[in-house]
């Protein structure tokens, strides 16, 4: 096999070395446009997991690297004169030049042809059996065939070096007259006789701060001097040095496909992940390991490249999601600087969701306990089981059973199904159990199976549910969500075809503007006249009065997911030219009028909340900044809290799905406005709930699918954490089940059958 490698960085060199070691008969040539010792960074961080893979794949390389590594376990967070240290993290780093030298030496000894200072010639894919494009973020090999996408982010950063070794990974925050700046520092060369070692120093700040500081016009030395001034304590008065260092904007690179023909992408050519979650070198080395293994295991190059992409792409995408969360946290760093010191440090450490409350408690129990004490969490109590006061209602814990449409009503009537469904979740320990969207009129239903609250029999049916919850699950609160389907109404039950029109028996749908949810599929709605809007507003008020009489503890107004009030808020669905369309303030007018009408009839001692879609996930739609203003307006009108969801407003949306993917929107509203929020969106573990609460990113967590999987999710979360306090009381008839039952005999000790 003849193999061409484009790019002589760590990924390309390691791939070449592995492939040559596995089969010395392979002819492998590496082209690198720079000289052997030219590099643009200083230190490289590798994880223990990656090092284990290197040790197994090539013990010679591992042994050479072992002599170079600096290892440390601690992370220091320095903010407002305080240094908080968390241990148990485990890092290893070395000089990038030394890493390159080790890999170059290994390649030469194995017989790889290294051609430095030479651009790769054209036509390699015709002349070679395999072409590995490891030519970095600015890859010249990557073209439209790989369907690349690039996102440029909002922070500027510069790579520098300090002439001493930090004794921990250091995050330091500088609050300057220009704005907030941050330093990321770590050692990459250990101190030795007559040498203080060396550290990588990355200085990062929002582009607006960078411009205000005048760094947009600074040359390399002026930038180095400025960074030294901003972080004098961290640098101990010692000078920084650069290496053709310049201020960069981080770019996230993705490719829909990593292979085309016999050419495959590796490392930064295929993907990038922000440096705050780990090293691009680490990902490139792992790519090389996987690619070499797949070529060894598969009978043909196409099969090997397909296996490589199938193996690595999900891993990298997971890392990129974590990196996106981390870089967004740093972009919005100023939002958190007023947090209590330990909460700030905990928030920083858990920003990417890779490190969680439970994980950090195992790494450094003393640090985590100190964070909990500072937050007022009683000893032995997981953060999720601390009480929370929402308006006049005190919830026993921070878990909300999220509204979930059940499509099981008859003529709007809640029946036995709803009694059992909601009653079971209340018995299961959630602090607040929410109904599905309850419709304020027959024409406001989504489907014929949706519940309502527009008739006396509906009120009686809901009273039956609330009475059960209050009598049989004391301490649990139950809330109702009121809404109107708008243009998304008159559709089939979810399992018959979500958002598809009924085959017959359709009713007319309404909206702020005559825009169907899906052109050619859904009905074109009737554009509401102000007199019709006034009538619907009265429907909401009448339903709220019924909800109060029915005994609900909380009422939530549904202004999300593209239903009627949501479609007034979004510029994609509201094209009105009257007083209810145009600017955000005008688009808010009708939802606020409805909210005020409900507030006037809803008991003052019971909280009134609002669910919003904080982004439409579509160009030209509601943005995160809009969501802050929407939340501000509802709060000023008396909302006790904001339930922050996203999307489902337009059919062409493109959500960035992932674990806890909607929580940054709740985080922003909470920390910019200081209002209580409910976070939703793929929060699935009690560890996530504890992490989000303790970091101050939300006040309550709403979970939907986990409560479908397990009605007793909250009680089981308490049992799994060994918690037996008042935040999760087991109903008396269930107390015998409050401990996990023993497993079957497969866990029994095995007899020893050999000497």
Mean pLDDT by 10 residues, the chain (755 residues): 96 96 97 88 82 85 88 93 93 91 96 96 95 95 93 95 94 96 94 87 97 96 96 91 93 96 97 89 93 95 97 93 93 94 96 93 95 95 97 97 96 97 97 98 97 97 98 96 97 93 93 96 95 98 98 98 98 97 98 98 97 96 96 98 96 90 95 96 94 97 96 96 94 86 62 60
Per-residue confidence (pLDDT) for residue 192, from 0 to 100: 83
What Cα–Cα distance (Å) separates residue 375 from each residue in 234, 241, 431, 501? 28, 40, 20, 50
Task: Give the separation between CA 543 and CA 413, rounded to whole angstroms.
Answer: 14
Per-residue confidence (pLDDT) for residue 80, from 0 to 100: 94
Per-residue confidence (pLDDT) for residue 567, from 0 to 100: 98
Per-residue confidence (pLDDT) for residue 50, from 0 to 100: 80
Task: Give the separation between CA 73 and CA 280, rounded to whole angstroms.
Answer: 20
Secondary structure (3-state) at 399: strand
Residue 74 burial class via C-beta count within 10 angstroms: exposed 0-12, middle 13-18, buried 19 and up: middle
Tell me the chain's radius of gyration from C-alpha atoms.
29
Helix or strand holding residue 182 (H, E): strand 179-189
Secondary structure (3-state) at 85: strand
Give the pairing of strands 75-79 and 169-176.
parallel
Rounded to two decimals, the pTM is 0.91
Q: Structural domains in the chain?
A: 2-330 (3.50.50.60), 341-726 (3.20.20.70)
Per-residue confidence (pLDDT) for residue 58, from 0 to 100: 87
Per-residue confidence (pLDDT) for residue 743, from 0 to 100: 63
Per-residue confidence (pLDDT) for residue 754, from 0 to 100: 59
Max CA-CA distance within the chain? 90
Give the pairing of strands 677-679 and 641-645.
parallel
* CA angle (698 as vertex; 277, 604 as ends), nearest 5: 170
Helix or strand holding residue 63 (H, E): helix 59-66
Helix then strand then coil, % of the chain, to nearest 5 = 40, 20, 40
Per-residue confidence (pLDDT) for residue 746, from 0 to 100: 56
Our measurement of the distance from residue 645's CA atom to the centroid of its chain's CA atoms, rounded to an integer in Å, reads: 13
Per-residue confidence (pLDDT) for residue 55, from 0 to 100: 85
Cβ within 8 Å of residue 489, ≥6 positions away: 443, 444, 445, 446, 507, 509
Token pair for 504: 């017959």
**Active site members:** 563
């Amino acid at each position: 096999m003849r193999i061409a490698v484009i790019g002589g960085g760590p990924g390309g060199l390691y791939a070449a070395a592995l492939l040559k070691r596995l089969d010395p008969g392979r002819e492998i040539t590496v082209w690198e446009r720079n000289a052997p010792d030219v590099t643009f960074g200083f230190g490289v961080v590798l994880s223990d997991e990656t090092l284990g893979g290197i040790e197994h794949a090539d013990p010679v390389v591992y042994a050479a690297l072992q002599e170079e590594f600096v290892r440390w376990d601690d992370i220091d967070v320095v903010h407002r004169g305080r240094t908080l240290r968390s241990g148990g993290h485990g890092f290893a780093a070395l000089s990038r030049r030394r890493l390159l030298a080790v890999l170059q030496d290994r390649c030469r000894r194995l017989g790889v042809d290294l051609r430095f200072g030479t651009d790769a010639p054209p036509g390699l894919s015709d002349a070679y059996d395999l072409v590995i494009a490891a030519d970095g973020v600015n890859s010249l090999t990557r073209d439209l065939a790989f369907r690349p996408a690039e996102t440029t982010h909002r922070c500027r950063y510069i790579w520098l070096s300090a002439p001493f070794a930090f004794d921990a990974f250091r995050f330091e925050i500088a609050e300057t007259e220009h704005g907030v700046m941050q330093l990321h520092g770590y050692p990459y060369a250990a101190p030795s006789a007559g040498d203080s070692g060396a550290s990588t120093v990355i200085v990062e700040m929002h582009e607006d701060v960078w411009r205000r500081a005048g760094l947009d016009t600074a040359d390399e030395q002026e930038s180095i001097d400025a960074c030294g001034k901003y972080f004098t304590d961290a640098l101990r008065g010692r000078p920084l040095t650069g290496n053709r260092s310049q201020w960069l904007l981080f770019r996230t690179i993705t490719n829909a496909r990593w292979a085309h023909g016999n050419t495959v992408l590796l490392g930064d050519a295929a993907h990038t992940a922000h440096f705050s979650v780990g090293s691009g070198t680490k990902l490139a080395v792992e790519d090389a390991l996987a690619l070499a293994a797949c070529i060894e295991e598969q009978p043909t190059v196409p099969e090997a490249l397909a296996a490589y992409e199938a193996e690595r792409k999900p891993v990298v995408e997971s890392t990129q999601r974590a990196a996106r969360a981390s870089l967004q946290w740093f972009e919005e760093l100023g939002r958190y600087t007023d947090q209590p010191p330990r909460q700030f440090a905990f928030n920083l450490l858990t920003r990417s969701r890779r490190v969680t409350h439970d994980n950090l408690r195992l790494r450094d129990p003393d640090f985590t306990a100190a964070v909990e004490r500072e937050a007022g969490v009683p000893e032995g109590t997981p953060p999720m089981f601390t009480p929370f006061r929402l308006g006049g209602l005190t919830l026993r814990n921070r878990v909300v059973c999220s509204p979930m449409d059940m499509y099981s009503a008859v003529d709007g009537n809640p029946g036995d199904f709803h009694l059992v469904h909601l009653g079971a979740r209340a018995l299961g320990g959630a602090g607040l159990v929410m109904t599905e969207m309850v419709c304020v009129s027959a024409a406001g239903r989504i489907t014929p199976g949706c519940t309502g609250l527009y008739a006396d029999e509906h009120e009686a049916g809901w009273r039956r549910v609330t009475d059960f919850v209050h009598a049989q699950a004391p301490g649990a609160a139950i809330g109702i969500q009121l809404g109107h389907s708008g243009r998304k109404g008159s559709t089939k039950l979810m399992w018959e075809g979500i958002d598809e029109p009924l085959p017959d028996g359709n009713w007319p749908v309404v909206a702020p503007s005559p825009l169907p949810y899906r052109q050619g599929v859904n009905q074109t709605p009737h554009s509401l006249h102000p007199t019709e809007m006034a009538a619907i507003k009265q429907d909401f008020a009448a339903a709220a009065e019924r909800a109060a009489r029915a005994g609900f503890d909380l009422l939530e107004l549904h202004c999300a997911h593209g239903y009627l009030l949501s479609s007034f808020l979004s510029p994609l669905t509201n094209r009105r030219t009257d007083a209810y369309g145009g600017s955000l303030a005008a688009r808010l007018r009708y939802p606020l009028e409805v909210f005020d009408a409900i507030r006037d009839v809803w008991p003052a001692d019971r909280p009134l909340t609002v669910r919003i879609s904080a982004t439409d996930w579509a160009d030209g739609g509601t943005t995160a900044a809009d969501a802050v203003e929407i939340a501000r307006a509802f709060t000023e009108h008396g909302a006790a809290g904001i339930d922050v969801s996203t999307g489902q407003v337009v059919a062409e949306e493109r959500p960035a799905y992932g674990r806890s993917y909607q929580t940054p929107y709740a985080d922003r509203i909470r920390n910019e406005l200081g209002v209580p929020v409910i976070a939703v969106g793929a929060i699935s573990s009690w560890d996530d709930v504890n992490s989000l609460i303790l970091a101050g990113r939300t006040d309550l967590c709403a979970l939907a699918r986990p409560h479908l999987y397990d009605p007793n999710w909250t009680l089981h979360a308490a049992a799994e954490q060994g918690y037996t306090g008042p935040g999760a009381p087991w109903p008396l008839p269930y107390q015998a089940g409050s401990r996990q039952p023993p497993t079957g005999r497969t866990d029994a000790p095995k007899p020893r059958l050999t000497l």
